[in-house]
Amino acid sequence: MSINAEEWREQPARGKSLPLTLAAANDSKVHRRSYVSVRLKFALTLIFSLAWAAFSYSLAQRWIHELSGEVGSALAHVMIFGIAILPGFMNAFLVVGLLLDRRPPRSHFSDADLPGITVLVAAFNEEESILATIASIAQQEYPGPIEVMVINDGSTDGTMDRLRTVSFPWLHVIDLKCNGGKAKALNVGLRHASYPLTVTLDADSYLYRNALRRLVERYLSDPPNTASVAGAVLVRNSRVNLVTRMQEWDYFHGIAAVKRLQSLFQGTLVAQGAFSLYRTDILRVVGGWPECVGEDIVLTWAILRDGHRVGYCEDAITFTNAPTTLRQFIRQRQRWSRGLIEAFKAHGGLLFHRRMSTIFIWWNLLFPYMDLIYTLVFIPGLLLACFGIYWLAGPMTLLVLPMAGLVNYLMYMIQSRMFREQNLTVRRNPFGLMMYTLFYGVVLQPGCVMGYLAELFRMRKRWGTK
């Protein structure tokens, strides 16, 4: 059963019972009178974005009519909706949702109130980064009980040799002789987990200060039906080259914005394996991580299908290494796309759940169609426009840009404020932003299409890249 934000605000945080003074009660009444419920925010967001889509469609009539003369009315509608109308709707939804979003306060708990956590780190050929990852955990100074299990998944480099050089009372190393994949490695660690909360962390990620405490406190402050909380993942190696500079903006803007919006409407769709928290008992109930290429998204959807909520903690940060070459980047996005198809195969019934977050399940169902249209229609349309043929990429395409620009501006302001609160500075990366805005999709969306096709044709699966 879902619970809305107004209802859970009136409940005491888990692990804590606070007396309500008369003054606090009066403040609470004032707050309730001015409070806009999440369901009303959802309705306003949906109404505005539908209105924007209708407005865009009316303006696009001449464009559709001209294109219909070349390809027919039905195909013209399919193309234009994939190029402009649906992207415009999604950008409008993001804009209004971000404007209405007010992150619920995260309660601060005493050291004695913080529960024990198990941190699982699956490592395969991570000799260059594993010690830094462990050092970042050691620097967390989490006051509750903690155990860290590094599962060496049959590495063929010096990962295990590096692990033998460190010793902490809370560190346990499980050495698997044969590589079995990330899901199998995490499940081995899960079987040995001693504490009620389990955190996953990639072996090349670096936790920012207090990340573990913030993640746990967000979980304790969230509605009682919360079973998982995704942390914030940002790019660590953004200075390497143009490929990583573009990805810096994707993580900083796009991925963070979507997770923030999904959390607002009570259904973050991916608690990413790079840094997320889970209730250990729920992990065991749903069977742990499935052995597939998109184990984190399939697991998250299993948790949602089981009736639980998945949250997001924007200020529990880990910095991770992004792919440094186009080939690695495309392989990563292929894996993510395959994971989406796997999630629909396993938990497609979520499309019919009566929850606000169901809109994001339908949203994801549209991604293969939109990526295919972008790849097979819009990119060729850009080439035709260079020769003065504006059937597919013309002035009407600009309808998407105002909302896209506003989304990026809002996300930049929101993320910059969060950075300032943590004494972080947003790195100047204007060239990366320009390339991200103009050319990122030209590489990203064809790569996603290749991933969808690979899953549909059941091609070989492997760890690949993150």
Q: What is the pLDDT of residues 117-127, one digit of tens each?
A: 999 999 999 99
Q: What class is the 111-352 domain?
A: alpha beta
State whether residue 414 is helix, strand or coil. Answer: helix
Distance (Å, rounded) from C-alpha 191 to C-alpha 186? 9
pLDDT digits 0-9 by tens, 224-240: 999 999 999 999 998 89
Q: How confident is the model at residue 396 (pLDDT cuts 50, 70, 90)?
A: low
CB 267 within 8 A of CB 310: yes
Neighbours of 323 (CB within 10 A): 20
The β-bridge partners of 121 are 150
Predicted local confidence at residue 136, as pLDDT: 96
Instruction: Report the alpha-carbon distance of residue 70 to residue 128 in Å, rounded.
Output: 55
Residues 316-342 have a mean pLDDT of 93
Contacts of 30 (CB under 8 A, 6+ apart): none
Q: What is the pLDDT of residue 14?
A: 43
Kindly indicate the confidence band of residue 377, based on its pLDDT and cuts at 50, 70 and 90.
Answer: confident
Name which of 300-314, 317-331, 393-407 the model is least confident about.
Answer: 393-407
Cβ pair 205, 297 in contact under 8 A: no
The pLDDT of residue 19: 30
2-6, 194-198, 246-250, 266-270: least confidently modelled range: 2-6
Residue 360 clears pLDDT 70, i.e. is over it: yes
Q: 459 versus 37: which is more confidently predicted? A: 37
What pLDDT is attached to residue 17?
A: 33
Instruction: Give first-to-last CA distance, the chain, whole Å.
Output: 33
Which runs of consecutive H residues, i.e. helices, occur in 317-429? 326-347, 358-373, 379-385, 400-421
pLDDT for the residue 437: 80
- CA–CA gap between residue 200 and residue 277 (Å, rounded): 7
Section 255-278 average pLDDT = 91
Asked if pLDDT for residue 6 goes beyond 60, the answer is: no
Mean pLDDT of 246-268: 89
Position 368 scores a pLDDT of: 94
Mean pLDDT of 57-79: 89
pLDDT at 65 over 50: yes
**DSSP code per residue over 251-302:** IIIIIHHHHHHHHHTT--S---TTEEEEEHHHHHHTTSS-SSTTHHHHHHHH
Mean pLDDT to the nearest integer, 96-120? 89
Please determine, for residue 458, whether its predicted confidence score (pLDDT) is greater than 90.
no
Give the mean pLDDT of the chain.
86
